[in-house]
Amino acid sequence: MTEELPLKKQIVSIPNLMGYFRILLIPVIVWRYLTADSIEDYRIAAVIIGISGITDFLDGFVARKFHMVTKLGKAVDPIADKLTQGAIVLSLSFRFPLMAALAVLFVIKEGFMGIMGILMLRKGKMLNGAMWFGKVCTAVLYLVMFLLILIPNIPMTGANILIGISGALMLLSFLLYIPVFSKMNREGGSQK
C-alpha cells in the first residue's frame, strides 16, 4: 500500500487536476450542444466529450501507474463522472424525449449510490471502486451520448433503441448494486 500524500499535494496531483479539468468542461459541453445549429457544432461538442472521456481514462491510468491514487482523487473522479454524465443526459433530453426517462433513472440510481455510499462511510465501510457492471453501464452510456451528439440527425427510432439499451443496462446496474451494498452492510469492511 502506498503512503497517502499530504492534502496540498493531493489537490495539485496530475490525476486530480485532470478531474478538475473534466468538471470545467461540463458547461462548455452543455453550451456547445444546446447552442449547436450545424452538424459541425454538434461534432465539436462530441469532440469535447471525447476529450473529457480520454481525460477520465488517463487520470485513473496515471494515478495507478505512478502511485498517485489519493483519497481526494477517489472523490473527485466519480463526482466529475456523474456531473458530466448528468449534464449530458439532461442536455440530450431536450432533443430526444426518451432521454428524459433515462435522466430520471440516472438520478434514482446515482441518488441511491450516493446515499448508500454516505451510509457505508458512516459505518467505516467503502465501496472500493465501481463494479464491472457499473463500468459497463458507464461505458455504454458514454457511447450512446457520444453517438447521439455526433450524429444529430439520427432517426428517432435508432436513437430510442440506443437510449433503451443504455437504460436497460443502467437499470440492471442499479439492481445489481443493491445486493452489493446489502452484503457490505451485513459483513462489514470494504467491498471489492
The residue among 72, 106, 73, 74 whose CA lies nearest residue 89 is 106
Place of cell 452543455: 30
For residue 188, the model assigns a pLDDT of 61
Q: Is 191 helix (H, G, I), strand (E, B) or coil?
A: strand
Residue-wise pLDDT tens digits, 83-128: 999 999 999 999 999 999 999 999 999 999 999 988 988 888 877 7
pTM of the model: 0.87
For residue 130, the model assigns a pLDDT of 78
User: Do residues 158 and 105 lie in contact, with contact meaning Cβ atoms separated by under 8 Å?
Assistant: no
Q: Is the pLDDT of residue 189 over 80?
A: no
User: Do residues 48 and 28 lie in contact, with contact meaning Cβ atoms separated by under 8 Å?
Assistant: yes
Q: Using CA atoms, how far apart are residues 133 and 171, in angstroms rounded to an integer? A: 11
Please state the rounded mean pLDDT for residues 128-133: 83
Characterize 35-72 residue by residue with b for buried, 16 or more Cβ atoms within 10 angstroms of its Cβ, and e for exposed: ebeeeeebbbbbebbeebbebbeebbebbeeeebbbeb
For residue 1, the model assigns a pLDDT of 42
Residue-wise pLDDT tens digits, 55-93: 998 998 999 999 898 888 888 998 999 999 999 999 999
Beta carbons within 8 Å of 95's beta carbon, 6+ residues apart: 148, 152
For residue 2, the model assigns a pLDDT of 47
Residue-wise pLDDT tens digits, 140-182: 999 999 999 999 999 999 999 999 999 999 999 999 999 999 9
Beta-carbon neighbour count of residue 108 at 10 Å?
13
Run of H or E including 68: none
